[in-house]
Amino acid sequence: MNVVVLINGREAIPVRAIPYVTGRWMSPDVVAKSLAYTDSMNRFEGIYAYQLLADGGYSQVLPGDWDVVDDLLQGLDSSLNAISDDRKLTRPVWLTESTKQLPAGVFLWRDEFEQAFHRSYSPPRFSLLDERPGDLTLRFSPLISPPEMRGVVMEGFEDSADDLLVDKIRNDQPRLLLSAGEDAATDRFAQRHIEGGFNKVTREKAGERNFEARVAAVKLTDARCIELAHSHELRIADWTSLTGIGIGVHWSHLVTTEGVAFRNWTEPEITEASVDQQVDMHRDNEAIPLKFPCTPVDLIQFIDAAPPGSHSFSLPDVFRQAMTESEQTTDTLPLVSAESQGKIATEVTPTGISKREVLAVDWPLHGQFNQESLSAALSDVREWLKPARTALGSPGKASALWNPAKLADCLVSKRYANQKAIGLFLGRHFAEWLPEWERLQEYR
């Protein structure tokens, strides 16, 4: 029996199905403890379950909500132990009754669950002495016995099981939007998920190729993560190893051998959105793509700058930690002047760059304020731009000097640039000014 359901066009797993999908390695009590973050070895930190709502939306189930479920399961265990010490007698009762203690209509996103499971139940963190074929392999069409448990497992998902018919997706689009309050980012990407689900079902029914990127658990060793963090260049193979995401369409991004880019909103999509969403969608379209080969810093900045809700990109903590330590080491190294032939020089923060250097690269501007507008503003300096000028120019003698970090901050303040996009831009073209930019953003 296939236990995968579609929620807003995205694959999900009922929590009652997890014991069967995992071959009982995650029994109901382990499921509850993992989601409550109380399992010291296999907690699913950062992973949340969601419950379906009557209006077709869903809401997040917080870790603390699982404490009650855990109490019920402990109570069931104590009751069975009081009846008999014979495990052969109580085990069949536990198998059925414990599953019923998990809440109906509650689910995990399949891709998030797969990553969390493989992270917790794979070597070196978890291994079996007498592993059999299929052990620790997720089975999304598991044997569910006795047969009457099938209805228990899928309770609350009657409308989502099977294939969530194409007509239902089309007709229920307004109702299926995420229950996320006024979060415009979530709403606009929820609509895209719905459309993606509709298109996927249509293609599959027509026997057409599926262009979705495959997602798998990241299985890198700590040593390999550290090695990649210290690499000068990362390519598509390194991307897939670090993120677990292959080439193809992944949510609102397209992954290719050349790089990773946001799938721009089309004019019809923007036209149908609210005015507030249109503003965000235009800014989404200005996102700077990640091009391979890239540096580890480029990779982290790209993922951190991507709009929330547009992806499920993540990087191993060991990789990020190694990058942080590497940057701290670099920051503390003394600068050595070639002219001093080995004598340690005093590190001097750059005072500024000329207008020509500023305009040597295309700034990620939007609206009517473009590169030409920036050039004019640097010549005829307005009051709002003066904080970015570090030195006055002298006609025919010296050019005015500009602080790229403060210049970027001024552009964001005037809403001529997107904060995340321009931060990524500075990291690529004016990296030495990035720390100052980050300090300025702390006060925004």
Could you give the 3-state DSSP secondary structure of residue 175?
coil
How many CA atoms within 13 Å lie on the side-chain side of 317? 3
Q: Where are the beta strands (DSSP E) in 189-298?
A: 248-250, 253-255, 259-262, 290-291
Most confident by average pLDDT, 68-72, 309-313, 421-425: 68-72
Output the CA–CA distances (angstroms, integers) from residue 368 to 280, 330, 374, 415, in the order listed: 16, 39, 11, 11
Q: Tell me the pLDDT tens digit for each residue of 13-65.
A: 999 999 999 888 889 999 999 899 886 666 687 889 999 988 778 899 999 99
**pLDDT value at position 405?**
92
Which uninterrupted H or E stretch holds 243? Answer: helix 236-243
**pLDDT value at position 130?**
65
Question: If you average pLDDT over every residue of the chain, what do you get?
Answer: 80
How many CA atoms within 13 Å lie on the side-chain side of 178? 21
Helices (H), 9-102: 18-21, 28-36, 66-83, 87-101
| More confident of the two residues 158 and 70 | 70
The predicted model gives 232-256 an average pLDDT of 92
Which positions ≥6 away from 145 have C-beta within 8 Å? none
Intra-chain end-to-end CA distance of the chain, in Å: 52
Q: What are phi and psi of 93, to 5 degrees?
A: -70, -45
pLDDT at 75 over 60: yes
CB-based burial, 271-304: b 16+ in 10 Å, e otherwise? eebeeebbbbbebbebbbebebebbbbbbbbbbe
Query: What pTM does this model have?
Result: 0.40
Q: Of all residues in the chain, what percent carry a pLDDT higher than 70?
A: 77
Q: Tell me the pLDDT tens digit for each residue of 316-364.
A: 989 988 887 765 554 444 444 444 444 433 344 457 898 889 999 989 8
Tokens describing residue 432: 């030495």
d(CA 407, CA 387) in angstroms, rounded, equals 8
d(CA 116, CA 31) in angstroms, rounded, equals 12
**pLDDT value at position 162?**
44
